[in-house]
Amino acid sequence: MKKTITTLLIIFSSLSIFSQYKITGKIIDEQKESLPFANIIVYKTGDEQNPKGAVTDDNGFFSVENLSTGKYKMEISMLGFKTEKIAEFQLNENKTFNITLKEESQTLNEVVIKSKRPVIRQTAEKLIVDLEKSEMINTNLQDVMRKIPGVLVTNNGISIAGNRGVRILINNKTTEYMDVETLLRDFPADNIAKIEVIEQPGAEYEASGSGAIINIILKKNVRLGTHGSATAWVGEDEGFEYGTSFSIASYKNKLNWQARVNHSQPTWRDDLFLVRTVGNETYDQVTKEPYDPVNNTISGNLDYYINDKHSIGVSGRLSTRSSERIATSKTIISDANNTETLFSENSFDRDRTNYNINPYYEYKTDSERLLLDFNYIDFTNDNTNTLYDVAGSTIPFTDRRYIQDGTYNIKTYRLDYSKEFTENFKLSAGSRFADVTTDNDLQSFIDDNNGGFDPVDTESSRFVIDETILAFYTKINATFGKWSFSGGLRYEDSNTDGTSTFMENGQTKTVVQPRPIQKLFPSASISRKFNDILGASLSYSYRIQRPGYNSLNAFQQFLDPFSASEGNPRLAPSFTNNFQFNLTYEGQPFFTIGYSKTDDVIFQLIKQDNTTAQIRQQEVNVENNSNWNFRLFAPLSFIKGLDGYTGIIVTNTDYQSSTFGVDLNQWNTYWFIQASYELPWDINFEMSGNYGTGALEGQIEVDWLAELDFSFGKKFLDDKLKVNLGFNKMLNRGFVGNIDYGNGTAAVESNGSRQNIQLRLSYSFGSKFGKKKSSRNQNRDEENRINSNN
């Protein structure tokens, strides 16, 4: 009997020990509204290292299950609310807690640590610049770019390690429809969460592009209630310039929406000075081209959370840009005995409209993610330019007019899936299909001597492109102790048919040029941490550079009476092997070696006809191109009160072609500095500068160059009002170099505006708090090939 009682006691004791209970409940705010996505963490006394947790659903309910008997503590937290802690309690049955969280209206700013500089982290595949916890005093995208080690922002655009083939994406969407200089000035830094500099794109990215990708990830801090900002800026460049923008966002329960409008009218000027020899004559040309485009953009997005795993949404954008300008040219032609002068003007009237819509569906858990995405682009680009002589010329010239209307229609369908099997192993796969149609119609006219223009059929043509690109990819990410590896393979099957319709010998002629490409594009990277301070990585990628749609068009367009650009329908894609080695110090970029080898690189060839004295610019395929770069970076934090980076970049660029007689090789060194300093009265001072011993810009060998920019920023009205005064291009030696045509030489200077001053103000309103939502990855390749820099 005693044995039976003892056995029963052991059984009941065991059942008690292994009994499983659960904690359930609901989280609400002080207005009795349910709080989805609140975090619940349960700690067992004596085993705090292994907590259990849950997240509230759309109705604020939660459940933490499979808890054994014992003493527990609980913590409930949500961004924007005070953390609620439940004192220790005994759990020997199921329990229910209904908790009311109080909004944290004033204390959040005291616990969020801000720094003057973004957090920078180098990985094998990309350089990540995190701006979430940095204090940007109302600066713009241009100022942010100057804070990225190794990225140089100059008159001639953005370069990384001497390579200007940089693509800018916003949330992985192209910005090619926007003028880059206007984008850099207009885009506010407050909207940017982080910037990724991707020099070795993995298989999940399109294989197109020879240079780095700069991907700007916008902030997705969805805040409870309604919030927004209003921004205005004024400045002086090539005249008075200004811009305004207004953004607003709202989140409540499942629905999140954002909207933004922008209007700007920047000004700048491009100057060209060209002195060249043609036989025994000298051509001295000066061209000045002012810009004052009018830009308008309306954009918005709507996201709906079906539950904590499923969401749908749609985003859209409508952008317009109109530009009317007159480029003036003066060319003096002289020899030992005579001097002639030609005055001319080129009047441009250009209008662009871009419409984009992007619906999506996303499924996401802690370990899985599925994204279905469709993107539609409709882009029109209507151009009219008239080239005419001006009174005072001693050389006769017949006026010309060109009307070019272009339409671009792009549809892309994409599926991405990723599965995280463990913390150390992740598998990704996906597919993408793009359907592209472009239609460019060029009509050429000549002066009829009666105040009108007659069509020139032999110089007019129509060019249509039909293209499809089907891609599949797979990629793995794995970690083994101090080693990390990522590797992927992408397959692309593209078919491009270019159809030219033109007049030849009085007959309409149509020529179709197909270009099928089937190719595998591998990519891989491996990295190792030597200790808590030092790390290293090695990466490789294989890329394709497809010609821009306009560059395939055989049109000729005169820029002035003696120079014109023309397309090349025989232009083929180029293929690049990229290698890169990174050495990091405390996760920061320290030392980098990069090498790339490109076959049939797309090269801007400049030719001179000594019989007609005409210059032609045309993209061609140069057989061999190689690039070396060496980068050394150092933080400035060792100087008290100073924050930033300095560094040296050494590059070597080589072009070789027996077909076109190209033999170019040049070494160059760049020094740069990017620094910020806290002045009295909480004024933030920022400065960036660079100096280069030269550059090889295609066929042009550029002499030394330099630039200096600085700004002052301050916050007012409890940090709601931000004011920034920027001084750009204070020291600005532009693009000065030489061209060797093979049958003549030229001294060239190309320079933009100088000494730009800009005052920017931004006022924020609404709630400061909320939850963080993931951003979607949307790669857009075909849009980047619409090379329209009007």
Mean pLDDT of 23-34: 83
Q: In this model, does residue 365 exceed pLDDT 60?
A: yes
Strands 84-91 and 70-77: antiparallel
Q: What are the tens digits of pLDDT across the range 556-592?
A: 777 778 888 888 888 888 999 999 999 988 887 889 9
* pLDDT for the residue 81: 74
**From the CB of residue 51, how many other CB atoms can be counted at a distance below 10 Å?**
15
> CATH homologous superfamily of domain 119-423+441-769?
TonB-dependent receptor, beta-barrel domain (2.40.170.20)
Cα Dmax for the chain = 134
Distance from the first to the final alpha carbon of the chain: 99
Q: What are the tens digits of pLDDT across the range 271-328?
A: 889 999 888 889 999 999 898 899 999 989 898 888 878 999 999 989 899 999 999 9
* pLDDT for the residue 11: 44
Q: In this model, does residue 136 exceed pLDDT 60?
A: no
pTM: 0.76
Percent of residues, the chain, with pLDDT higher than 90: 27
Q: What are the tens digits of pLDDT across the range 221-261?
A: 445 567 888 999 999 988 899 999 998 888 766 788 889 99
Strand (E) or helix (H) holding 765: strand 756-766
Phi/psi at 48 (nearest 5 deg)? -65, -15
Q: In this model, does residue 758 exceed pLDDT 50?
A: yes
Q: Identify the band that residue 767 occupies on the pLDDT scale cut at 50, 70 and 90.
A: low
The Cα-based distances of 22 to 69, 97, 310 in angstroms read 10, 11, 26
Fold topology of 2-101: Immunoglobulin-like (2.60.40)
Q: What are the tens digits of pLDDT across the range 142-187?
A: 777 777 777 776 655 677 776 777 777 777 666 654 556 666 666 6
3-class state of residue 586 by DSSP: coil
- 375, 373, 479, 483: CA torsion to nearest 10: 0
Domain with CATH 2.40.170.20 in the chain: 119-423+441-769
- 9, 12, 13, 19: CA torsion to nearest 10: 180
Q: In this model, does residue 215 exceed pLDDT 70?
A: yes
Mean pLDDT of 186-210: 75
Q: What are the tens digits of pLDDT across the range 374-410?
A: 989 898 989 998 998 888 888 888 888 989 888 999 9
* pLDDT for the residue 546: 83
**Sign of the Cα pseudo-torsion (501, 503, 509, 513, in order):** negative
Q: In this model, does residue 786 exceed pLDDT 60?
A: no
Domain with CATH 2.60.40.10 in the chain: 2-101
* pLDDT for the residue 110: 34
